[in-house]
A and B are shown apart, each in its own frame.
Chain A
């Protein structure tokens, strides 16, 4: 055996060291910026205040006025999420074929060989424009869309539904297009080589394979949207979120509690319904 050379061990590889240092620096910067008052948080007084607040929530109020608010709130919040998801899915379906690469610029539906150059360039620019549109709809947050629509059609469930629809359209167009791009192209190619028209290839070769994925994506988006429509109430003046915010504003904790319970129940119910249907689809 050769003379024992010490094993040089760097416990932290360079990338790990950089990542750890970066996270530490980011944490330090964030702490310095917002100065979280942890010392006051961890006092007995504050902790008691938390206890009090949550204690005051019990029991939820069940008088006629609260229940009336609850009914309209539930109807508005649920309606906003359903209409938003439905219209968003429509927008997504419209944008989908142009956003999906395998449909607009290459793949089974496109004769890349036989296509004139100018045609392909046009297809490419339509594809890019559609993706840009979807990205704009997607990256502008739904509450900013809500601000625009509140201004156009007045504050209310209609504006909220439109905001959710537009934002959902952008998100779901991208998701749909990704789902189409992942479809096995062989059946479509087979149809195409048998001389089927492109629309029919899309209808019978691609769509059936992606159908359950599209439905699952839509349902998943509904789960997100039920939360977003609750939140729209908190920042605006509609639905369960609004009634809850209002109740808390006037320190009517028990009414707030009623709406909170309804929010939780609604969110859980939508999650359960959505996952039930998704399982049946799969």
Chain B
């Protein structure tokens, strides 16, 4: 009874999902009363009232401009490092690169060195991306408190794993016949990759890298909370001192930054496509 099994599965899965969501509401101490109560209204009102007027003197604005530049710099260098880590990982994780064009879709690759490299690089990629970037930053900052470097390294490693996975999917998606043609010419792995796979995957790769840069900006703000310089650090300081007028301006900077970068990377994507 295939249909019956399926129905049973759906009921069981549905019941489990409902139970899980219910349990989560309990676990998160969900209480609408706390949100609608007088205390919340008072707190929220105070927060909003303190937000106005936002602080906008020249000294503060130039401080934030510098902090924005810090945030952007960390995000940019982190993304650059992530791409540098991600491309080799992706190449080694792509079947058509490591095994050759004829194994592009094969499920059972041949054993040997190539397979060991493949498995190792997929493992590393998975390990890098399973730890959130801020957690990496926390570890790196304790190991080597070297200014912005731990934050850059953290973005590089965490996003290197993400980029490695996505780039390798994009590389495995390229048309196999031009790659096979290069192999037939006698080109080795590296050259087949550089002349056949990389040019074909370039468009999607560039647009994913741009998307990762968007994420890196947000991540780089977060790094401020674990000690890196930048907008996040200013935000944390202002919030800690209950200076919500400053928090408002900082948030505005952040939003404008995010919108500008989204807009720029959309424009870039349209050009590449």
Residues of A within 8 A of B57 (CB): none
Confirm or deny: A121 has a beta carbon within 8 angstroms of a beta carbon on chain B: no
- Chain B residue nearest to A161 (CB atoms) is B28
CA distance A33 to B218 in the complex (A): 18
Known: A83-B30, A147-B247, A152-B47. A30 touches B144 (CB 8 A): no
- For A9-41 the 0/1 string (1 means CB < 8 A from B) is 000000000000000001101110111111011
Confirm or deny: B152 has a beta carbon within 8 angstroms of a beta carbon on chain A: yes
Known: A141-B218, A152-B43. A30 touches B135 (CB 8 A): no
Confirm or deny: A118 has a beta carbon within 8 angstroms of a beta carbon on chain B: no
- For B240-268 the 0/1 string (1 means CB < 8 A from A) is 00000001000100110011000000000
Q: State whether A75 touches B77 (Cβ < 8 A).
A: no
CA distance A173 to B217 in the complex (A): 22
Residues facing B in A35-85 (CB within 8 A) are 35-38, 40-41, 46, 49-50, 52-54, 75-76, 78-83
Confirm or deny: B148 has a beta carbon within 8 angstroms of a beta carbon on chain A: yes
Residues of B within 8 A of A38 (CB): 149
Confirm or deny: A192 has a beta carbon within 8 angstroms of a beta carbon on chain B: no
- Chain B residue nearest to A226 (CB atoms) is B132
Confirm or deny: B155 has a beta carbon within 8 angstroms of a beta carbon on chain A: no
- Give the residue among A31, A33, A49 with the most B Cβ atoms within 10 A: A33
Q: Give the contacting residue for A158; candidates B29, B39, B43, B144; CB below 8 A.
A: B29
The smallest C-beta distance from A261 to any residue of chain B, in angstroms, reads 10
CA distance A67 to B44 in the complex (A): 35
Residues facing B in A116-144 (CB within 8 A) are 139-141, 143-144
Confirm or deny: B40 has a beta carbon within 8 angstroms of a beta carbon on chain A: yes
Known: A41-B149, A157-B29. A83 touches B144 (CB 8 A): no
Q: State whether A153 touches B34 (Cβ < 8 A).
A: yes
Q: Which of B66-74, B102-110, B114-122, B188-196 contacts A (4 or more CB under 8 A)?
A: B66-74
Q: Give the contacting residue for A83; candidates B25, B149, B258; CB below 8 A.
A: B25
Confirm or deny: A248 has a beta carbon within 8 angstroms of a beta carbon on chain B: yes
Q: Give the contacting residue for A29; candidates B39, B73, B143, B239; CB below 8 A.
A: B73
Residues of A within 8 A of B27 (CB): 75-76, 78-79, 83, 157
CA distance A40 to B27 in the complex (A): 45
CA distance A154 to B28 in the complex (A): 13
Return the 5 tightest CB-CB contacts between A and B, nearest first. A79-B27, A82-B24, A30-B73, A53-B143, A34-B148
List A residues at the B interface (Cβ < 8 Å): 26-27, 29-31, 33-38, 40-41, 46, 49-50, 52-54, 75-76, 78-83, 86, 139-141, 143-144, 147-148, 151-154, 156-158, 160-162, 227, 230-231, 234-235, 241, 244-245, 248, 260, 263-264, 267-268, 277
List B residues at the A interface (Cβ < 8 Å): 13, 20-21, 23-31, 34-35, 39-40, 43-44, 46-47, 69-70, 72-74, 76-77, 80, 130-132, 134-135, 138-140, 142-144, 146-149, 152, 218, 221-222, 225-226, 229, 235-236, 239, 247, 251, 254-255, 258-259
A-B contact pairs, 28 of them (CB 8 A): A26-B76, A27-B76, A27-B80, A30-B73, A31-B73, A31-B77, A33-B73, A34-B70, A34-B152, A36-B146, A50-B144, A53-B142, A54-B139, A78-B24, A79-B25, A79-B26, A83-B25, A83-B30, A140-B251, A144-B247, A147-B247, A158-B30, A231-B135, A234-B222, A235-B225, A235-B226, A241-B134, A248-B142
